[in-house]
Amino acid sequence: MERLNKFIASCGVCSRRKADELIQDGRIKVNGEVVKDLGVKVSLEDKIELDGKTISKEEKKVYLMLNKPVGYVTTASDEKGRKNVLDLILEDVRVYPIGRLDMYTEGLLLLTNDGDFANKLMHPKFEIDKRYVVTTDTKVTRQMLEALRNGVDIGDYVTREAKVEKLDEENISITIHEGKNRQVRRMCDAVGIKVLKLKRTNYGPLSLGELPVAKYRHLTDFELYNLNK
Ligand code: URA
């Protein structure tokens, strides 16, 4: 027996926290009955449904890389009716994003229905490097780059050391391993760099490569092996 929210999360539907919301919103049925009690425990014999569709742990696992376009949100449900990255995914299983990119940021986003895998990658202890390219019209000085490298105060947090490189007059690359809300934008803001465009190009060992904007592909076995290492 396990808690209903844990069961839902391990089916790859969403995080445990989100599962609590689904339960409270009355979207989950256990053996045909809507269950709103967060304390309920279930087993593999129980029939669990989300919005009328059975969810189970037996589903084929899929691992996708999307080149997220600007203007799409990555949250599972959006009360403002904005475009959602899930609208771009045409698979016969439900997947959800591993971590987040803000609405105005584009680039590499992983999605999966493997809840255990997603929760592992998102755990802060793994400190996965994420590389972003910032396009700016600010004249970036050496002092600015140094400050970004050493860590800057973004209000509620001082960022850890980052790898920072000036690529050319308009682009800098910033690699961080934390994932505070809008961290790169807030870091740039803190040192006076105006962000015209923000794109994630790498996630751990994975690289976006030539994947066109709004397109996705399945990860290769080699990429999965590298991510699991
Ligand atoms: N930093 C940001 O500012 N936005 C993101 O989406 C990710 C990192």
Task: Please report, for the domain that includes residue 185, its CATH number.
Answer: 3.30.70.1560
Report which of 80, 8, 82, 9 is spatially closest to residue 49, judged by C-alpha positions: 8
Same domain for 35 and 74, yes or no, is: no
Q: Show the tokens assigned to 114.
A: 């493997």
- The amino acid that residue 103 corresponds to is M
pLDDT value of residue 191 = 98
CATH number of the domain at 27, please: 3.10.290.10
pTM for this structure?
0.78
Domains contained in the chain, number: 3
Same domain for 120 and 106, yes or no, is: yes
The torsion angle over the Cα atoms of residues 40, 124, 195 and 188, rounded to 10 degrees, is 130
Same domain for 112 and 221, yes or no, is: yes
Q: Which residue range is the domain that position 24 belongs to?
A: 2-54
How far apart are the C-alpha atoms of 176 and 168, rounded to whole Å?
20
Q: Which of 25, 87, 92, 102 is catalytic?
A: 102
Same domain for 67 and 177, yes or no, is: no
Burial of 79-96, coded b for 16+ CB within 10 Å and e otherwise, reads eeeeebbbebbeeeebbb
For residues 174 and 131, is the Cβ–Cβ distance under 8 A?
A: yes
Q: Show the tokens assigned to 27.
A: 């979207």
Same domain for 119 and 147, yes or no, is: no
Same domain for 136 and 196, yes or no, is: yes
Same domain for 6 and 104, yes or no, is: no
Instruction: Tell me the residue ranges of DSSP E strands in the chain.
Output: 2-3, 28-30, 33-34, 41-42, 48-50, 53-55, 63-68, 96-97, 106-112, 130-135, 163-166, 171-176, 197-203, 206-207, 216-218
Whether 102 sits among the annotated catalytic residues: the reply is yes
Same domain for 120 and 142, yes or no, is: no
Q: What Å distances lie between residue 41 and 2, 3, 5, 124, 160, CA to CA?
A: 5, 4, 9, 28, 40
pLDDT value of residue 15 = 83
Residue of 134, 174, 183 to test ligand 1 pocket, by largest number of atoms within 8 Å of CB = 183
CATH number of the domain at 224, please: 3.30.70.580
Q: Is the CB of 101 under 6 A from ligand 1?
A: yes
Same domain for 135 and 120, yes or no, is: no
Q: Is the CB of 185 under 6 A from ligand 1?
A: yes
Same domain for 147 and 37, yes or no, is: no
Report which of 222, 215, 156 is spatially closest to residue 187, judged by C-alpha positions: 156
The rounded Å distance from CA 180 to ligand 1 centre is 8
* Residue minimizing CA distance to atom 4 of ligand 1: 182
Residue of 74, 85, 101, 181 to test ligand 1 pocket, by largest number of atoms within 8 Å of CB = 101
The rounded Å distance from CA 102 to ligand 1 centre is 6
pLDDT value of residue 12 = 75
Same domain for 153 and 142, yes or no, is: yes
Give, for all 229 residues of the chain, the pLDDT tens digit.
Answer: 899 999 998 887 788 888 999 999 999 999 999 999 999 999 888 999 999 888 887 667 899 999 999 999 998 666 788 899 999 999 878 899 999 999 999 999 999 999 889 988 988 788 899 999 999 999 999 999 999 999 999 999 999 999 999 999 999 999 999 989 999 999 999 999 999 999 999 999 999 999 999 999 999 999 999 998 8
Same domain for 196 and 106, yes or no, is: no
Q: What Å distances lie between residue 44 and 4, 36, 51, 68, CA to CA?
A: 11, 19, 19, 35
